[in-house]
Amino acid sequence: MKKFKFRLEKIKRYKEQLEQGKKMKLAAEQTRLQIGKNELSEAITMKDRYFSMYGVRKPGILNITTLIIAKRYLDKLAHDILNHRNKVAGIEKNVHKAQQDLLEAAKERKKYEKIKNRHLAAYKEEMTREENRELDEFGARANKIESVSKQPV
């Protein structure tokens, strides 16, 4: 009995490797996104904390130098927050693209798995037919031998 051999096995393995690579890329992009979101939230927290200290007028002596420095620092934090938001938006696009690439790679891999399953089913069906043919032939021989041995001499 011949053994099942899928001729496209190497291509299927290659597609699996591509899918693994896409999964690794997606994981890296998601990690970058999480880091970017953490940096953004830290910058927003810093701005809120600094604004609560210097943004509200307090009764008493007003130091103009401190007020100017605080205003410039708050402007810098606002600019940093804007940069972080743009960075996070870019990373989110990369994550979305990586997800789409992974879906496409998974479809390709599944396509070859389905082809392999069809070929395997056809192989099993052919082997079953061949076994049945052999059993029928075997049974026919046994009937012939029985009928020859039962004939009176």
Global pTM? 0.69
Q: What is the pLDDT of residue 53?
A: 76
Determine the pLDDT at residue 60: 66
**Alpha carbons 102 and 26: distance in angstroms, whole number:** 8
Q: What is the pLDDT of residues 91-127, one digit of tens each?
A: 999 999 999 999 999 999 999 999 999 999 999 999 9
Question: Would you say 108 and 11 are in contact if contact means Cβ atoms under 8 Å apart?
Answer: no
Instruction: For the chain, give every domain's residue range.
Output: 10-150
The region of weakest confidence among 15-19, 27-31, 52-56 is 52-56
CATH code for the structural domain at 10-150 = 1.10.287.1700
